[in-house]
Amino acid sequence: MANAEQIKSLIKAHIENDQNRFITLALQIAAIEAKQGHTEFAFEIRDLIDKSKLSKVVKLKPFLNDFGDLILEIVPQVRKVELIVTSEISDKIERILLEYKQSDKLGKYGMKNRRKIMMAGSPGTGKTMTASVIAQELKLPLYIILMDKLVTKFMGETGNKLRQIFELIEEKKGVYFFDEFDTIGGERAKDNDVGEMRRVLNSFLHFIENDKSESLILAATNNISLLDQALFRRFDDIIRYNIPNEIEILKLITNKLSIFKPTFKLEPITKIALGLSHAEITSVCEDAIKDAILHNKNKIEKNKLMKFLEIKRSVYLGN
Ligand SMILES: Nc1ncnc2c1ncn2[C@@H]1O[C@H](COP(=O)(O)OP(=O)(O)OP(=O)(O)O)[C@@H](O)[C@H]1O
Ligand SMILES: [Mg+2]
């Protein structure tokens, strides 16, 4: 059974709201239990963790009846150290944080903090995670606005809904994350339907330009080249995300496997992961951890990790 130190550490992680550490400790306990032959108990712990992961970044709750499930309020729980990005991206994030924290100082000189940010890049590279980190660092609530839902659900009155969202942005200080932004911002969107998208985009341009709130407005897209050019000058900065290079892959895997300290060199393995996104590599690491638990190991095996990476490659990259 878990010893006193482990239980104390678990409680401490819970009180400090350090979800990552909490999961790490729970996995450690599962590994120890599995090693002692308590496989069923180890399984149960793993299942509990799997379920909690669904709400890891987040605790979703539908926000304000008016908006139905169009806006999700999230309790951000991702810490900055977990986000593995290039120095260029982390510098940009730091600048957003610093300017926000010192916006009063900037204001005295008639300057405004940067708070309207476009995030673009492939799926699973950390755009939503960045929104979570920013909210967490600034101790602000995070609201995710699902653009595709906005458009499909409120066809014909999207502009009106958008107005209400911008009223909310003004009233309730927070980080507002417009996800799937190309739904309205894409050039292609213009050609669809009866000009609804064009109108929505024009409304958005109008609202964001006139927004003088203290909230942060983030918009994410997978494909920046599709976006309407008129959008860019409304944003204070653009952050571009890419799949990780070898250095980032190494950091990511090292982070993810930290408790199951691999005893082999990770460097040669990072090559196999080249081409995969952060999200895909994360899920490989989780598979490797689960596998270790299920086989009563407290260390990750090199061959297993390589095998899982190769499987992921063949599924996602076809090689
Ligand atoms: N840069 C990163 N550093 C560490 N982990 C990451 C990173 N990017 C993604 N992940 C992992 O993958 C998960 C999904 O990432 P996220 O939701 O931020 O991707 P995204 O860029 O918003 O993708 P999409 O375009 O599909 O919405 C994260 O919860 C995290 O576990
Ligand atoms: Mg996302």
Atom of ligand 1 nearest to the CA of 244: 1
- Residue 275 Cα to ligand 1 midpoint, Å, equals 15
More confident residue, 201 or 68: 201
Helices (H) and strands (E) in the chain, counts: 15, 7
Strands (E) located in the chain:
61-62, 71-74, 116-121, 142-146, 175-179, 216-221, 237-241
The closest residue, in CA terms, to atom 24 on ligand 1 is 123
Please give the pLDDT value at position 284. Answer: 94
Domains and CATH numbers, the chain: 1-54 (no CATH), 61-241 (3.40.50.300), 244-319 (1.10.8.60)
For residues 187-204, give the mean pLDDT: 70
- Residue 108 Cα to ligand 2 midpoint, Å, equals 35
Q: Is the CB of 158 under 6 A from ligand 1?
A: no
The closest residue, in CA terms, to atom 4 on ligand 1 is 83
What pTM did the predictor assign?
0.80
Please give the pLDDT value at position 61. Answer: 45
Which of 278, 285, 289, 316 to probe ligand 1 with, by most ligand atoms within 8 A of CB? Answer: 278
pLDDT category of residue 189 using cuts at 50, 70 and 90: low
- Residue 83 Cα to ligand 1 midpoint, Å, equals 8
pLDDT category of residue 52 using cuts at 50, 70 and 90: low
Q: Is the CB of 147 under 6 A from ligand 1?
A: no
State the pairing for strand pair 142-146/71-74: antiparallel
Instruction: List the structure tokens of 267.
Output: 């460097």
In DSSP terms, 241 is beta-bridged to 121
Tell me whether residue 302 is exposed, middle or buried, using C-beta atoms within 10 angstroms of its C-beta: 0 to 12, 13 to 18, 19 or more: middle
Q: Is the CB of 84 under 6 A from ligand 1?
A: yes
- What distance in Å separates the CA atoms of residue 229 and residue 247, rounded to the nearest whole number? 33
Encode pLDDT of 164-185 as tens digits: 899 999 999 999 999 988 887 7
More confident residue, 186 or 206: 206
More confident residue, 157 or 278: 278
- Fill in the DSSP letter of residue 112: -
For residues 49-58, give the mean pLDDT: 54
- What distance in Å separates the CA atoms of residue 29 and residue 10, rounded to the nearest whole number? 10
